[in-house]
Amino acid sequence: MYTYLKTEFRENGICVLTLSAPKSLNALNSALIGELDDFLTKLDTTATRVLILTGDGDKSFVAGADISEMANLSEAEGLAFGQRGAEAFRKLEDLPIPTIAAINGFALGGGCEIAMACDIRYASANARFGQPEVGLGIIPGFSGTYRLPKLIGQGMAKELIYSGRVIKADEALRIGLINRVVEQEELMPAVIALAEQILRNAPLAVSYAKECINRNYDLDRREGLALENELFARCFTTEDQKNGMQAFLTKQKVNFQGK
């Protein structure tokens, strides 16, 4: 169905989505972005409960946007290209299910930006991160100036964006850009293990927690706390809450149904 995407839907509710343009180190061209947008629009998040995003091969997660496509864009074409990428990444961020980036190599420019649109980021030790766009005469165009300061603070984000410096996985971990570093061969097992741990919890509660955290980007303290109270209360309308608490009290194993 897709030229640049590989999909693996597992029976336990995990989907592994692989961005696949190996000749360009999985660079983001318009066709790949369009396929990603289509996939995210059509994804059944009742059947899929955790989405894992990775890149094809062992060298690159996503090396960036496709420079050969961008080189001769006009201002209007540049605007359209940036908007397509930003909209696809917004859909990824807004999915009601947890998303995990398995970063298996270069995550530069658009690669760093798509990783930041995921909820959690695990990286292999050979991964490299950066927003080197200013070295090409442009700025991050797929929401990097928005998400990077929120993850690592304005000062560090400005340093990385202004300098275009590329950092190793251990520094990315230290500054809070990623959650964990493992060896290359351990990356997917570690990500799958995390996904399976998430799957043991109540799906609606996980989704509500994600909604609270994401929407708090744009809310003040009073609004954020009110939202948390609202979604906390909504949990008490679910069968999962009743089953989960009853199982705890009776020391039984619970099987959440997402209802």
Three-state DSSP at 128 gives strand
pLDDT, mean over the chain = 94
pLDDT on residue 235:
85
CA–CA dist 12, 15 (Å, integer): 9
Q: Is 130 within 8 Å of 186 (Cβ atoms)?
A: no
What is the structure's pLDDT at 248?
84
Instruction: Output the pLDDT for position 142.
Output: 95
pLDDT exceeds cutoff 90 at 29: yes
Could you give phi then psi for residue 205, rounded to 5 degrees?
-65, -40
pLDDT tens column, 212-257: 999 998 888 898 889 889 888 888 899 888 888 888 889 888 888 8
8 catalytically annotated: no
The candidate with the shortest Cα–Cα distance to 18, out of 102, 83, 111, is: 102
Q: Locate tokens 């190599």: which residue?
A: 105
Among residues 35, 93, 133, 228, the one annotated as catalytic is 133
pLDDT at position 245 is: 84
| 125-143 per-residue burial string, b: 16 or more CB within 10 A, e: under 16 | ebbbbbbbbeeeeeebbbb
Q: Phi and psi of 182, rounded to 5°?
A: -140, 170
DSSP, residue by residue, 214-251: HHGGG--HHHHHHHHHHHHHHHTTSHHHHHHHHHHHHT
Query: Among 35, 93, 113, 228, which one carries the catalytic annotation?
Result: 113
If DSSP codes are grouped into helix, strand and coil, which group holds residue 61? strand
Query: Angle at which helices 154-163 and 144-152 pack, to 10 degrees?
Result: 130
Q: What is the pLDDT of residue 228?
A: 85
Give the separation between CA 39 and CA 133, rounded to whole angstroms.
27
Is 223 part of the annotated catalytic residue set? no
d(CA 56, CA 181): 19
Length of the chain: 259
SS3 assignment, position 212: helix
Question: pLDDT tens across 128-175, in order?
Answer: 999 999 999 999 999 999 999 999 999 999 999 999 999 999 999 999
Kindly list the distances between the CA atom of residue 72 and the CA atoms of 63, 76, 218, in Å, as whole numbers in the listed order: 19, 11, 35
Residues whose CB falls within 8 Å of the CB of residue 47, separated by 6 or more in sequence, listed in order:
9, 13
C-alpha to C-alpha distance for 30 and 193, rounded to whole angstroms: 33
Structural domains of the chain sorted by starting position, each given as residue range(s) with its CATH number in brackets: 5-199 (3.90.226.10), 203-250 (1.10.12.10)
Residue with token string 């293990």: 193
By the 8 A CB rule, do 88 and 118 touch?
A: no
How many H helices and E strands in the chain? 11, 10
